[in-house]
Amino acid sequence: MIDKTIFREAMSHVGSAVSIITTDGKAGRAGMTVSAVCSVTDSPPTLLVCINRSSRSHDIFLRNGVLCVNILNATHQELSGLFASKADQETRFLQAAWHRRITGAPALEDAIVSFDCRIESITDIGTHSVIFGAIQDVEIRHGSPALVYFRRGYHSLGTL
């Protein structure tokens, strides 16, 4: 078996878009920064998100049954850090403008893309839950470079 330190080092060489996932509902409002988001299929439109089960927000997402994947633009580095920190949820959400989508999950006003999803299924593997989201609505905003995470640092991809 491969040592987890070697695996983490290897994965740091795989660039990925930075996202803030959000939810709201009976269990409350929550959001967190993730880089493990992937398209699954376009028939029906589905994506997956991986969340560490030890995260304070994990159970809130599952109980609400909805989430919005907000793909960050290059100006969101500080916001990404805040949503990855131990700051309380209220403080996190006060730092940006949000609006609700069809599911009730908060969408970031100036995200590059917001995927509004209902949670279809969940598979637990190791330390994480793999959440499959059926996309209910998409909001696309053109013109901003993307925020990507590569080799343990933030980078901008694309131009205006």
What mean pLDDT value characterizes the chain?
94
Highest mean pLDDT among 2-11, 125-134, 140-149: 125-134
30: domain CATH number?
A: 2.30.110.10
Is the residue at 97 inside a domain?
Answer: yes
Averaged over 10-17, what is the pLDDT? Answer: 82
**Which helix (DSSP H) or strand (DSSP E) does residue 4 occupy?**
helix 4-11
DSSP string covering 41-103: EETTEEEEEEEETTSTTHHHHHHH-EEEEEEPBGGGHHHHHHHHSS--HHHHHHTS-EEE-TT
Is the residue at 159 inside a domain?
Answer: no
Is the residue at 160 inside a domain?
Answer: no
Asked if the model's pLDDT at residue 5 lies above 70, the reply is yes
Is the residue at 141 inside a domain?
Answer: yes
Asked if the model's pLDDT at residue 100 lies above 80, the reply is yes
Asked if the model's pLDDT at residue 160 lies above 70, the reply is no
Range of the domain at 137: 4-152
Is the residue at 158 inside a domain?
Answer: no
Asked if the model's pLDDT at residue 117 lies above 90, the reply is yes
Is the residue at 67 inside a domain?
Answer: yes
Binned at pLDDT 50, 70 and 90, residue 59 comes out as very high
Q: What angle do CA 91, 156, 115 make, to 5 degrees?
A: 60
Binned at pLDDT 50, 70 and 90, residue 13 comes out as confident
Is the residue at 144 inside a domain?
Answer: yes
Tally of domains within the chain = 1
Is the residue at 119 inside a domain?
Answer: yes
- Cβ(75)–Cβ(111) below 8 Å: no
Q: Write out pLDDT tens, residues 27-39.
A: 999 999 998 999 9
